[in-house]
Amino acid sequence: MKFGKEFAAQLVNEWQEAYMDYNYLKKLLKDVLNFRQKSTSYPISAGSSLKRKVSLYRAFSGLTKYRYPRGSPKKNSTSERNEQDAVILVSSDELGDHHQGPNGGKYSKTKFLMSNDDGAEYELVFFRRLDDEFNKVVSFYKNKMDEVVSEADELSKQMDAFIAMRITVDDPLLGGVSMLNLASNGGGGDSSVSASVHSNNGRKPGKGATQNGNQFFQISLYLNILKTLILCVKYEEELHLSTIQEVEMSSEEHSVDMDSFMPASLEVLDRVKININHETPVSTLKGVLMGSKSDIPLSKSKLKRTEQLMTQAFVEFYRKLRLLKSYCFLNQMAFSKIMKKYDKITSRNASKAYLEMVDKSYLGSCDEVTKLMERVEDTFVKHFTNGNHSKGMDTLRPKARKETHSITFFLGCFFGFSLALLAAIIVAIHARDVLHSPGRNQYMENIFPLYSLFGYILLHMIMYAGNIYFWKLYRVNYSFIFGFKPGTELGYRAVLLSSSVLCVLMLGGVLSNLDMEMDPRTKSFEAITELVPLGLLLVVMLITFCPFNIIYRSSRFFFIRCTFHCICAPLYKVTLPDFFLADQFTSQVQALRSLEFYVCYYGWGDFKRRSNNCSGSQFFDTFYLVLGIVPSWIRFLQCLRRLLEEKDGMHGLNGLKYLSTIVAVSTRTISELWPGNSWLILAATSSGVATIANTYWDIVMDWGLLRRDSKNRWLRDKLILTNRRFYFIAMVLNVILRLAWMQSVLGFREAPFLHRKALVAIVASLEIIRRGIWNFFRLENEHLNNVGKYRAFKSVPLPFNYDDENGDECMKNKS
């Protein structure tokens, strides 16, 4: 793989503008090469490769150029050759701010010494842009290093409070005098023994005095040993986890013995406010009704919650350090590669001088990041995994999920099974003449809505798999945006495998329920066959809520947690996965209504005879209306919560948009259940207003398009897709597919060749397809916003809040 592609594949997407622009510098070098090709007397074929053209016509430097003659001083010849071959002169200008490192506060400035040569203006442009790129990289790297150093100081303060909290909770007696006694007794015991030994030196005791002294010495020694053993057994865990203060290391490793042992200070808990409440609906309601309490009694559960928050903070901080180290290494490699490419094209020797400057610069050494990473590793392993290094590193460096060949194999198998079952259904429909059977209408009214639920879910999963494929193709960091736990996010093959399994189960159930004729003796269908849809629903529910670590448990629990947050809105803080999932539910209204039909059909209907009285029940019709507006109501409450927290008026406008959707869905449903001209006119009006508002918000706010002053006319300044026509096609499709929901208002509720239930399913499927298209561009816009603000990490709430006036004093308690 060429370095340019490898460089683009390994860079951090959200920092891509901060990396060295390798492709542009290559383009400048091609300009230099083109000029040299035109000015040379040798004809060079346009189709030959870059390396071949350069190597064939380079000047021959001799076989012994780099060997020193016998008896000649190496140092003098080297310096003489460097003076003769000097191409550039690299200098540095002061910045004004102070940084660590040999060139920490300086910018690079390169002077080209061959400006009189032909085509030197191309090389001047190259070196000018090279300096700009280097200075940009160094400046970004310095700023990020300042951030991580500040965060490291904050984490150190958090660790002081966490260790003190751990000591206090695990053993309250250790939190008071006991801890101080442990330190004083440990030192006092040793000194008393030493004083006893030294007091007898220099004089010759008598026999009785010697025996009494020896007995006293032995008793004192035994007592001290026994006391020490008791203390070690009692406080073994505390001594290991929290009482040995860590010694700062700069370049050498310092050994720590028991003489330098100092216990952790517990006074820090008097200067902090503990903020470790796990947000729940009950805690939110208590906070609203009774106000927040600053004093939280310490307990085991609070300690566990604090440890979880600290673990998340360390994992995220370590990930930032790893990316910074990768950023440093990749840019060093990029500067090395581009300078070597310059030497090849120009037959000069400028790379040595420039790369020496890079090595001496702030970017040239990643020692600060490396030392900080080692420090984080030691701290995390010692205080969070009880010294288990492998367990600690597995937590700090989670392994990425690998796509195995078994997933592809089973995906192909189940996809083939689905095609076979689909062909069998088509043959069975044609053989039994199902379309003209008297039981066709009975089947469509009773069985079809049961299986349409799985069809909606299946189509949504396929669209999601397609989204994942294109997000990965265009390097949209969807796992970071959604907040998936590293190593647990599903690839598109895994999603397609799950959907193919569901497709096989659904098509098998449909094939088993294609019998249109009742048993003439019992006037009913087979009970086992009629219970197949209910059994399939139970299987799907059991797999979804299965507590065992099988079938992508992490992803299933993530989905359940986000769904619960949506149901409990606005009692949870709204995050992107929560409102993104709620938007998916607004496109699955018919799926929710199919769930209601399951309850009515198997609870109060006669499923053996394929009959129900759901449509005539006022209770059913009321819930039919409620389920249609529940998803939009959830989004309205989420917008209201964000408006109150963030004080951003755009969330209020977004809430009004969903309020208009609630009105439109309500009037459409009422006009469908209780037909009337007045309701039809009201439904048409409200639906038109809601369609205009939702379409404008989708295109302008969610997708960030229709920018008149943009570099890309009517689009954004930054685009991921190279072909701009796809954006205009997506905007047109969004408008057309939104208008499909108005078929019920315009009177197209039945078609001569389609049953009413089938038409409803088609319109619902079009809305799911529209939502799938919306998902891609919505996440693309979110990704570009993260790129524009260099947001590559999620913020983790810290458990302790220090008082401002006591913040400096807390740092003095560190060893």
Range with lowest mean pLDDT among 250-264, 267-281, 568-582, 611-625: 250-264
Per-residue pLDDT for 114 more than 70? yes
Q: How many CB atoms within 10 Å of residue 721?
A: 15
For 491, which DSSP code? Answer: P
- Reported as a pLDDT band with limits 50, 70 and 90, residue 616 is confident
User: 721 pLDDT band (50/70/90 cuts)?
Assistant: very high
Share above pLDDT 70 across residues of the chain, in percent, rounded to a whole number: 76
Which of 337-351, 357-371, 604-618, 738-752 bottoms out in mean pLDDT, i.e. has the lowest?
738-752
Average of per-residue pLDDT across 443-457: 94
Q: Which residues pair with 802 in a beta bridge?
A: 272
Q: How confident is the model at residue 1 (pLDDT cuts 50, 70, 90)?
A: low
Please tell me the predicted confidence (pLDDT) of residue 574: 93
Name the 3-class secondary structure at 89. Answer: strand
Check whether 88 has a pLDDT greater than 60: yes
Residue 691 has pLDDT above 50, yes or no: yes
Predicted confidence (pLDDT) at residue 188 exceeds the cutoff of 60 = no
| Pairing assessment for the beta strands 106-112 and 88-94 based on DSSP bridges | antiparallel
Q: Are 178 and 264 in contact (CB under 8 A)?
A: no
Residue 159 to residue 499: CA distance in whole angstroms:
45
Between residues 84 and 441, the one the model is more confident about: 441
- The token pair that represents 109 in the structure block: 């400035």
Classify residue 751 by its DSSP letter. Answer: B
- Per-residue pLDDT, 729: 96
pTM of this structure: 0.80
Q: Which residue has the higher pLDDT, 23 or 815?
A: 23
C-alpha span between 101 and 99 (Å, rounded): 6
pLDDT of residue 12: 87
606 bridge partner residues: 611
| pLDDT of 33 | 87
Give the contacts of 811 (CB within 8 A, at least 6 positions apart): 153, 156, 157
Q: What is the pLDDT of residues 272-329, one digit of tens each?
A: 888 776 677 777 777 767 665 545 577 788 888 889 999 999 999 999 999 999 999 9
- pLDDT greater at residue 239 or residue 106: 106
Lowest mean pLDDT among 115-124, 383-392, 549-558: 115-124
pLDDT grade, residue 246 (50/70/90)? very low
Among 355, 321, 324, 316, which Cα is nearest to 338's? 355
- Lowest-pLDDT range of 612-616, 630-634, 783-787: 612-616
CA distances from 362 to 132, 144, 317, 369 (A): 15, 12, 21, 12
DSSP string, 235-248: THHHIIIIISPPPP
Bridge-based pairing of strands 88-94 and 272-274 is: unpaired
- 293-302, 611-620, 785-794: lowest mean pLDDT where? 293-302
pLDDT at position 129 over 80: yes
* CA pair distance 809, 301, nearest whole angstrom: 29
Contact 564, 281 (CB under 8 A): no
pLDDT of residue 744: 62
Look-up: residue for tokens 């990965």? 472
Helices (H), 433-531: 440-446, 448-473, 478-482, 492-512, 527-530
Over residues 542-571, the mean pLDDT reads: 94
pLDDT digits (tens, 9 = 90+) for 740-766: 876 666 655 566 678 889 989 999 999
pLDDT at residue 172, rounded to an integer = 63
What's the rounded mean pLDDT across residues 41-70? 44
**In the predicted structure, residue 117 carries a pLDDT above the cut 80:** no
Rounded-to-integer distance, Cα 156 and Cα 494, Å: 41
Q: In the chain, what are the domain boundaries?
A: 1-39+106-171+235-397, 405-788
Token pair for 119: 């085509």
Q: Mean per-residue pLDDT for 30-56?
A: 60
Residue 290 to residue 288: CA distance in whole angstroms: 6
Transcribe 655-696 into DSSP letters: HHHHHHHHHHHHHHHHHHHS--HHHHHHHHHHHHHHHHHHHH
pLDDT band at 81 (very low <50, low <70, confident <90, very high): very low
Is 71 in a helix, a strand, or coil?
Answer: coil
- Please give the distance of CA 137 from its chain centroid, rounded to a whole number: 24
Strand partners, 801: 273
Q: What is the pLDDT of residues 297-306, one digit of tens each?
A: 777 888 888 8
Type of residue found at 95: L
Percent of residues, the chain, with pLDDT higher than 90: 43
Residue with tokens 């061959």: 114
Residue range 75-94: mean pLDDT, rounded: 56
Measured between alpha carbons, how far is residue 687 from residues 233, 597, 742, 772 in Å?
Answer: 74, 25, 7, 22
Least confident of 64-73, 324-333, 389-398: 64-73
Give yes or no for residue 5 having a pLDDT over 70. yes
Q: Are 814 and 734 in contact (CB under 8 A)?
A: no
CA 237/CA 551 separation, integer angstroms? 38
pLDDT tens by residue, 493-531: 999 999 999 999 999 999 998 887 777 777 688 889 999
| Confidence tier at 110 by pLDDT (50, 70, 90) | confident
SS3 breakdown of the chain: % helix, strand, coil, rounded to 5? 70, 5, 30
Q: Would you call 799 exposed, middle or buried from its count of C-beta atoms within 10 A (0-12, 13-18, 19+)? A: buried
| Measured distance CA(16)–CA(788) in Å, rounded | 10
The mean-pLDDT minimum among 81-95, 116-130, 571-585, 715-729 falls in: 81-95
Higher pLDDT: 177 or 646? It is: 646
Q: Rounded mean pLDDT of the chain?
A: 79
Interhelix angle 756-788/576-586, nearest 10 degrees: 160
- Containing H/E element for 108? strand 106-112
Residue 438 has pLDDT above 50, yes or no: yes
Closest CA to 343 of 29, 681, 706: 29
Helix ranges (H only) for 200-299 are 207-234, 236-238, 281-290
- H or E segment and range at residue 120: helix 120-170
The pLDDT score that the predictor gives to residue 84 is 45
Record the tokens describing residue 107, joined without a space: 């910018």
| DSSP category for residue 606 | B
Could you tell me the end-to-end alpha-carbon distance of the chain, in angstroms, rounded to an integer? 49
* DSSP count for the chain of H helices, then E strands: 29, 4
Q: What are the φ/ψ torsions at residue 91 (nearest 5 degrees)? A: -130, 175
Instruction: Place 44 in a pLDDT band, splitting at 50, 70 and 90.
Output: very low
Q: What is the mean pLDDT of residues 714-732?
A: 93
Average pLDDT over residues 4-10: 84
Confidence grade of residue 113 (pLDDT, cut at 50, 70, 90): confident
**DSSP per-residue letters across 519-552:** BTTTTB--HHHHTHHHHHHHHHHHHHT--SS-SS
Token look-up 């095609």 returns 419
Of 506, 486, 490, 505, which is closest to residue 407 (Cα–Cα)? 490
Q: How far apart are CA 642 and CA 589, in angstroms?
A: 24
